[in-house]
Amino acid sequence: MAVSKVIPLNFATGTGHSPLHQALRYECEVQRSQRKTLAIHIKHEKIEVRAPYIASPRDIKAFLNQHQDWIEQRLRDESKRYQETLRLHQGGKIFYRARELDIVFLQGRKERVLRDNGQFIFQAHKINEKKARQLLAGFLQQQAKDYLPHRTRALAKYLNVDHKLNDICFRKTKSKWGHCTSTGVIQFNWLIMLAPYSIIDYMISHEVCHLKHMDHSKRYWKLVESVCPDYKRFVNWLQEHEHRLWF
């Protein structure tokens, strides 16, 4: 796949003062491949155009002009999501159990994580962002070990698929909250422990149901609904808020 920069991109319409024109000063890339159609992918302060080898610069600019309103809205949405991404620093915010808590760094001999009166407190002898990340990782991993295995095995037994469940493990991944293998290993992303318990329980239901149906067919979702009737609401919650749980 060939990559080339497109700088600048001047749209045929618009005043030149929109968020899109501002964002174009950062980066816009064209990725060419054997594909047959043009497509636009938006990331924070970046426009990525995926194009066939035969598409000319003129074709690409016309395509971008045609989708200018959509691009502007996506850039605004992505900018908002980027600003809400979890950053562990004194005075920041952490989205924990669907509540915004103030992040507090506290010097002390004992290394621990505390929650008190709307605050999420990181305490250590030399507390900084790096140390806070380590403390939060350990805190969430322990919560995952204390909560997820028991409820996962209980649901597997209820659905009569406990004989298919071979192992439960934890891993921080870049995109998935959970995964179920064909060999009966269920993996959870321990970052899910930042979410409300209803969301966590939905994720357990999602993966355990894969022990019976290794797909996302209608019968699979019917099984999910039988143990988690509000699963659609929880899916929507994750789509709206999951970017706030990553660090």
> What are 187's strand-pairing partners?
169, 179
pLDDT digits (tens, 9 = 90+) for 50-84: 999 999 888 988 898 888 888 888 888 777 777 77
Confidence check: pLDDT of 108 > 80: yes
**pLDDT (mean) for 38-42:** 89
Confidence check: pLDDT of 145 > 70: yes
Please, are residues 87 and 185 in contact by the beta-carbon 8 Å criterion?
no
pLDDT digits (tens, 9 = 90+) for 174-226: 889 999 999 999 999 999 999 999 999 999 999 999 999 999 999 999 999 99
- Look at residue 79 in the predicted model and tell me its pLDDT: 77
- Look at residue 1 in the predicted model and tell me its pLDDT: 58
Confidence check: pLDDT of 23 > 50: no
Stronger pLDDT, 92 or 17, i.e. the higher one: 92
- Look at residue 71 in the predicted model and tell me its pLDDT: 86
Stronger pLDDT, 160 or 32, i.e. the higher one: 160
Model pTM? 0.74
The domains located in the chain, with CATH, are 2-83 (no CATH), 93-129 (no CATH), 132-245 (3.30.2010.10)
pLDDT digits (tens, 9 = 90+) for 155-170: 999 999 999 999 999 9
- Look at residue 18 in the predicted model and tell me its pLDDT: 46
| Paired tokens of 227 | 């143990």
- Look at residue 151 in the predicted model and tell me its pLDDT: 98
- How far apart are the C-alpha atoms of 28 and 114, rounded to whole Å? 43
Confidence check: pLDDT of 25 > 60: no
With H, G, I as helix, E, B as strand and everything else as coil, classify residue 94.
strand
- Look at residue 12 in the predicted model and tell me its pLDDT: 39
Q: Which of 14-18, 115-119, 139-143, 221-225 has the lowest mean pLDDT?
A: 14-18
| Paired tokens of 78 | 């992505």
DSSP 208: H
Taking each helix axis as running N to C, give the angle between helix 218-227 and helix 197-209, from 0 to 180 degrees, rounded to the nearest 10: 140
Please give the full DSSP string across 134-195, using - where no structure is assigned: HHHHHHHHHHHHHHHHHHHHHHHHHTT-GGG--EEEE---SS-SEEE-TTSEEEE-GGGGGS
